[in-house]
Structure 1
Amino acid sequence: MNSRRNFLQKLGLSALAVQFSPVTGWAKNQAQVSDQPYDGPVLRVAIMGIGTYGNIVARALQASTKAKLVGVISGSPEKVKDWQSKYGIPDKNVYNYSNFENIKNNPDIDAIYVIVPNFLHKPYALRAATTGKHVICEKPLGRNAKESQDIVDGCKKAGVKLLVGYRMHFEPKNLEIISMRNAGDFGKIKYFTGNGGFRIGDPTQWRLDREKAGGGSMMDIGIYAVNGARYMVGEDPIWVTAQELPKSDTTKFKEGVDETITFQMGFPSGAVAQCLSTYGMNYVDRFLLIGERGWAELNPANGYGPLKGRTNKGELKAVSPPMQQTVQMDEMAGILLEGKTPVVAVDGEEAIKDSKIIDAVYEAVKTGKKVLLKLS
């Protein structure tokens, strides 16, 4: 495993292997799902960016009930032709990065899903907002809290809804743990640990370019621990401390590109979190929540494939979907078209909080001091 792509492929192998399996097969195991075919509104999506993750979302949309892939925005004509063949996208719904504002005149597209490198999130999300279509943007929303705030403000000004690609907020095992915590099964929460990472490969990729990524591992894999700590503990942190480990390769991990950071967060209730974000170690993918009367663990915690989880009461009962992104898009369609409220927020305000925490982590690394947080 020597690249992000290999990392994603390995963690997502089970999901991708069943990408064409009907999600209804999974859904029939869920007691709340009706046997009646869906007959409600469908979110018609244009994907911007057809790299590795864009392709995963496209495949997931094939099995979606409430969302459908209808358009594509890309600067790669040959790839676009392949997408048109695979997904039946008509010529009138094909755009490039120079003309995609013309989507405002296309009544067959409801939302634009921005899946491009971090440094393009702000300019492209703001341009997408001017089309009058809803905007879904991958995380992190911006390279820092200011960029994230600018995107939120731009979408509000344009009068469009903004969602962020927090797929784990809809993942059944995560939601089962949150439900158990809310029911008091674990008692008062005392501790959380969130570890994520892999050995990154190609040194020329944009994720190892500070200007394009906004940092290093914290901007890519660290955000899972930042966000996971918040929804697992059920609070927003009030302080952060952090330490950067010595770099194994200063050519690959240049100034401003972190390889490994450990960071700690404190919460109003007194709970604490200890987290790790790394581009230097494989097999790092675990959440652990500990309360006064019980505990819950996810291992793996963030991969695309089925997650594994248990608590002090035994194995988690929730069934993992074939593709997390299918559930994500179904649920996002419900939010955008029907006004549904998710268990864990996936809006721009949620993303701003994560960006503020990541900014504070970098500040704590630089200063060696505890950084106080004000997230609301």
Structure 2
Amino acid sequence: MSSRRNFIKRSGLLLGAAVLPFPGCIAAESKEKLGIALVGLGYYSRDLLAPALQLTDHCELKGIVTGSQEKIPVWQKKYGIKDSNVYNYQNMHEISNNDEIDVIYIVLPTGLHAKYAIKAANTGKHVWCEKPMARTANECQQIIEACNKNRVKLSIGYRMQHEVNTQTIMKWAKTQPYGEIQQVISEAGYNGGSINPWKLKKEMGGGAIYDMGVYSINAARYSTGLEPIAVTAKQSTNRPDIFTEVDETTSYKMEFPNGIIVDGKTSFGESLNNLEVTTKNGWYYLRPMQSYSGVRGKTSNGKILTPMRKNQQAVQMDDDALAILNNTEVLVSGEEGMKDIHIVEKINKASATGQRIQI
């Protein structure tokens, strides 16, 4: 943490009795924007996160980590990234000495999240990790422990929880303005276009249940405000020549306390983008519920939930940056991400055995 001490010394900050509990946390007055390094320069980083970073108030793209040499000059020219802020997967540990980088954002295939999130934590920088958090709940726990050991903040990239209409649904789970929740339908999937090859590999965390399923699982949890107690599930494919290792479609039924039933579905072969909540005195829905823009909804008494006009990823990253700058709780913790992966494992077991599995 010598780089951190050097920064404090140069900035003239005096640390007395009120020492920050996270050494990597920066007092709000010391930095206006946090330097972000993206690990992995695939589609999501290239087309969504990097452009969104240009729209943030509290972040700036400062570094990249890539194994593709040909991408480096393209990114440097577009975003003005210094040679000293370019890393590969073998030397990314050297980010520990770079004062310009405050956060390392893991944007890799799911099967690599644990390995590189732990590497990131060991640099002493804060860690943002894309969803799904990891392949197993055990890997999730390892990430959490690495961040706790290094006393850095960990946030999981659940952009939907930063979206205003989704936050309304989360609030209604607690206030129940339409009466007790009775049933939920939660569906997320897509059809058409090419599927990234790694998403077809089991060891890389591929399959619909990981890639799109966590949207429907997380929505089931935040729309009820509860945790499931049991699940049954069925996985299938209409393209067995392509989906040889992972699921193309997973349908599941989750049981929640108070008799609430959630019918969930996720797929790489169907366009699914729907969250419906039936209550004692009415209903409400978000449709689409997990698109990059245009999330909208309606209620049984005619209330319209209009789309948020801000960029979702920009809002997510600004929220997470403010949690670091102000040393407050992150909106989506590692524990939250781990809960979904624990459920994914139970869904896979339920499908494999054909049995009702307790959670």
Shorter-chain TM range is: 0.7 to 0.9
1:179 maps to what in 2?
A: 171
Q: Distance in 2 between matches of 1:294 and 1:67?
A: 41
Q: Distance in 2 between matches of 1:262 and 1:130?
A: 38
Structure with greater contact order relative to length (CA < 8 Å, sep ≥ 6): 1
2:157 maps to what in 1?
A: 165
AA in 2 matched with 1:354: D
- CA deviations on 1:173-211 (whole Å, 9 max, x unpaired) are 111222334333121111111111122654671100111
Paired residues, what number? 330
Deviation of 1:39 after TM superposition, in Å, equals 10
The worse-fitting range, judged by mean Cα deviation, of 174-183 and 150-159 is: 174-183
Deviation of 1:221 after TM superposition, in Å, equals 0.4
Q: Distance in 2 between matches of 1:313 and 1:41?
A: 43
1:67 maps to what in 2?
A: 59
Alignment of structure 1 residues 1-376 onto 2, 5 Å = 41-55=32-46, 56-199=48-191, 201-202=193-194, 205-213=197-205, 215-245=206-236, 247-255=237-245, 257-281=246-270, 283-317=271-305, 319-341=307-329, 345-373=331-359
RMSD of the alignment, in Å? 1.8
Three-state SS of the structure 2 residue aligned to 1:314 is coil
Three-state SS of the structure 1 residue aligned to 2:344 is helix
**Residues 42 and 318 (structure 1), Cα distance of their counterparts in 2 relative to 1, 3 Å cut:** farther
Deviation of 1:136 after TM superposition, in Å, equals 0.4
Unaligned runs of 5+ in 1: 1-37
2:22 maps to what in 1?
A: none
AA in 2 matched with 1:80: I
Q: Distance in 1 between matches of 2:83 and 2:195?
A: 36
AA in 1 matched with 2:110: N
Unaligned runs of 5+ in 2: 1-28
AA in 2 matched with 1:176: T
- CA deviations on 1:343-364 (whole Å, 9 max, x unpaired) are xx41110111101100000000
**Residues 172 and 107 (structure 1), Cα distance of their counterparts in 2 relative to 1, 3 Å cut:** same
Deviation of 1:269 after TM superposition, in Å, equals 2.1
Q: Distance in 2 between matches of 1:39 and 1:130?
A: 23
Q: Distance in 1 between matches of 2:152 and 2:192?
A: 36
Q: Distance in 1 between matches of 2:315 and 2:308?
A: 10
- CA deviations on 1:75-98 (whole Å, 9 max, x unpaired) are 122212111111121121111111
Deviation of 1:40 after TM superposition, in Å, equals 6.9
AA in 2 matched with 1:364: A
